Amino acid sequence: MKAKECEGLGFATKVIHVEQVHDSEYGSMITPIYQTASYCHGSVEEAAEKFAHKLPGFHPIYSRSGNPTNRALELKIAAIEGGEDAVTAASGMGAIGSVLIGFLQAGDHAIFDDTLYGGTDHIVKHNLPALGIQTSIVNLRDFDALKKAIRPNTKLVYFETPNNPVLTLNDVAAIKATVGKDIKVVVDGTFAPPPLQYVLKLGADVVVHSLTKYYNGHGDAIGGIVVGSKADIALVRNNAMTKINGCPLSPFNSFLILRGMKTMALRMNQCCHNAQALAEYLVSNEYIKKVNYPGLTTHPQYDLAVKQMTKGLYGGMISFELKDDINGLSSFAAGKKLVNGLKIATIATSLGDPDTLISHPASMTHAFVAPTDRLASGITDGLVRMSVGLEDVEDLINDFKAVFATFNK
């Protein structure tokens, strides 16, 4: 079904059927894997027409510029997100890098939120300045600070919502209204894809996702995507994705992600239900100082979550802080003990898998970061991050109870 035919359909129906490609030659119900590096031509004249873009089809040289399996995924996600077009990348970082290279050049200025994924943070602080691109890091919850940061050469504002790993939210509509139509608003929506939130409908110009996470949902494929208007996607595809970065998504990974999306509605409902129940349990635990989850009424931006996200679907990501002294244990030691002691949760740094994944940033992903810098990002010694999976939530809660019982010994 084409995108227009799916207008008005619910998410569960749409994510299965929109832009579904059936093989016309053999009748394959599932989109085939077009595992080809390049494309052949019937004649020199036909090739010349394709090189001149006078004939439809994929790029006449290499599959990095276009592939039927990848295109099926791009059109499907563009329709789901409410965008005009999309372009895939080999990873989430490939998508982020392609957006920044596509939109920015030497002499331009871009504004970034003060809480970013580590890979993005590195690009902002090191790679972009090396290319002559000016950057400002701003708390985008402070609209006055955002206004003051805008310069005549500001081209782009970039942020996540919810943020990794402390799960603060950014108000997409308010940020767009503050910067105006001439500055691109780019949102990393990896933590809360549809049906949790639709950032393009909220006012963003472009949304990027790590497809590795919830879109794929099975922990077996890496990918990224950029979604937006036809003009913006053409800019990213032609100026960054193919001509410069050359980081196309593998057709096999596209196949896996298309397969994973068939169950996306069920997976998102279940992980959100589990995360809500687990967050409510953790709030009441005597050893926990603070729980970060947008679905809790105690979250400082709960009203924004209700306005910006789908009711009852506030994500599968939770982070929480352990108390500073637990029967002689420091929060750092307690965090490690908790993570090591859980039987069901897997110690891993990704998210969106069927399995519940857990990490202790201070001793794992952010161990190399200076303690003062960690604290500035809200990453305390006792912070624990979880991607809540699809298990029976009672089992997850009982697993926590069993480990916390050992804190008394």
Amino acid at 228: G
Q: Identify whether 64 is a catalytic site residue.
A: yes
Q: Identify whether 188 is a catalytic site residue.
A: yes
Give yes or no for a contact between 137 and 149, defined as CB atoms under 8 angstroms apart: no
> Counting every residue, how long is the chain?
409
CA-nearest of 174, 144, 150, 170 to 159 is 170
Cα separations (Å) of 126 from 117, 134, 408? Answer: 14, 11, 46
Catalytic, out of 188, 205, 232, 353: 188
Catalytic, out of 14, 34, 50, 64: 64
Neighbouring C-beta atoms of residue 176, cutoff 10 Å: 20
Q: Identify whether 14 is a catalytic site residue.
A: no
Cα separations (Å) of 132 from 126, 128, 135, 157, 235? Answer: 11, 7, 10, 17, 20
The arrangement of strands across the sheet holding 134-138 comes to 85-89, 224-228, 206-210, 184-188, 154-160, 109-113, 134-138
Give one DSSP letter per residue of 102-167, joined into a string: HH--TT-EEEEESS--HHHHHIIIIIHHHTT-EEEEE-TT-HHHHHHH--TTEEEEEEESSPTTT-
Q: Which residues are catalytic?
A: 64, 117, 188, 213
